[in-house]
Structure 1
């Protein structure tokens, strides 16, 4: 398997930024899936022995992870990094959430606008790097993994979630036209190998399937737009669908209706790994996880 970064970009990063900038103002009303995945990822910290003093939320959006992280690690200094300035600006507008944990006099998260593939931090800057649903917006996860490994202190932990290849499979089947209609999602096995290639120790990945249901295809499209999650691939269809083509897509998707509802599958991949020689910690997937895989270097397999 070639785990090096793709020579030719296939993600339209400008489109990613535009979509999330447009969604930023009302993002808390549209990020319900991200918040649920965030909650499930946070449960894994129950099985980790770590007392971080410096935390980086990588791809923080408007800070939906802050409350849980600060409640768990009240003395830690939190840095919040996102590519999109309106997301970072929106953090200050949150009336509740992490602010109630920080209190009025405690310093808030340090906002940083930057690319996850080129972090503006010195080596060993953080003890925990947390990333919820960022990786599938990048051309390739490996540069971000390498930057996270570089930015962690010895014994530090990298914990992430992303979406796997079965995500929105119903939508792809309904279009079936060769154009990209979702992001390109990386398989969990490849993610584990990339963590090793980036220099991490004891990488563990697991996955589960979350199925949302909708009354109409338009309702699914509306949720994706509200979350900034519409397709941003360079190979996406350009232009507006004709009424005839849209009617064909609706009919194809409607053939998948079950119990009166349209399913939308999300394959959620969770992973964590250590910088250094690794640590013996109890690890488990969430209840109902399909599989948990521990990775080792290829020469030891």
Structure 2
């Protein structure tokens, strides 16, 4: 799948998830709340990259004078516009921002970076649009996310059912390659419980997160196969409930001030 087709695929999936997203976004709420503690308030412009339906904008508005929402999905931005919390809503790819250089005071992005084919381009674009002395806080998912779900599926078939996330080493390399960005990294593990694997799969679908796994099995998954996944799931409780782990990385980027 080429880059343009992949981008369109992501936009379609998240567009279809716009109505169910807010109810399912437990992980998003936890991660965004943590990221917000790392964000410095500003009297100027705040750019929310991958803004989704704008559910977090009431809190972000308290950290800035004006808020710009940017998302790949037209449908998600429609929800944002209806809420009227953002000063401006822009449909664009975070890897090629239609924003003037050195025009933004702060950038916020929660759980968007993992859907970008080249996250290093996103970081470069953020550094470009930030004013000197400006900063950005981003959160993304790392390799090892949903490892239990992956292990369970491996006992059932050999198809890829889980999105592939970048390892921490990728971002450590970026940190070394671009020391001028002042990139700081913080990791955490978030555990969420579910009644069963179907509930987990349903939440991922409602979030639009069951998307763009190249080589995934497109055949229908029957009831018996889901039962096998449930049985193979590690660390199940007596009542059948399960726990899923999410490996989260918070990145803080600070652009050097001009001397």
TM-score w.r.t. structure 1 length? 0.77
> What is the RMSD computed on CA atoms of the aligned residues?
2.4
Q: How does 1:9-24 map to 2 (within 5 A)?
A: 12-24=6-18
Question: Are residue 257 (structure 1) and residue 236 (structure 2) matched?
Answer: yes
How far apart in 1 are the matches of 2:215 and 2:182?
A: 36
- 1:215-266 CA-to-partner distances (Å, cap 9, x unmatched) read 111111111111111132222112212444333323212x530353211111
Contact 1:163 1:266 in 2 (8 A): yes
Q: Does 1:212 align with 2:192?
A: yes
Report what 1:174 is aligned to. 152
Shift of 1:200: 4.5
Residues 14-55 of structure 1: CA deviation (Å, up to 9, x unaligned) = 33222211111232212222122111111123xx4x534011
1:68/1:196 CA distance change after superposition, 3 Å: farther
| 1:135 to 2:113 alignment | yes
Name 2:47's counterpart in structure 1.
Answer: 56
C-alpha separation in 2, matches of 1:10 and 1:192: 27
**1:271 equivalent in alignment to 2:244:** no
Secondary structure in structure 1 of the residue aligned to 2:182? strand
Distance in 1 (CA, whole Å) between partners of 2:43 and 2:216 is 41
Q: How many residues were matched structurally?
A: 255
Query: Is there any run of 5+ residues in structure 2 with no aligned partner, and where?
Result: none
Deviation, 1:179, is 2.9
Give the alignment partner of residue 93 of structure 1, picking from 82, 88, 106. 82
Change in CA separation of 1:113 and 1:10 when aligned onto 2, cut-off 3 Å: closer
Which shifted more, 255-264 or 13-22? 255-264
Preserved CA contact (<8 Å) 1:11 1:137: no
For structure 1, the 5+ residue unaligned runs are 1-6, 100-107, 279-301
TM-score norm. by structure 2 comes to: 0.89
Aligned to 1:156: 134
Cα distance change, pair 141–169 in 1 and its aligned pair in 2 (3 A): same
Between the aligned partners of 1:172 and 1:198, the Cα distance in structure 2 is: 33
Return the alpha-carbon distance in structure 2 between the equivalents of residues 111 and 199 of structure 1.
32
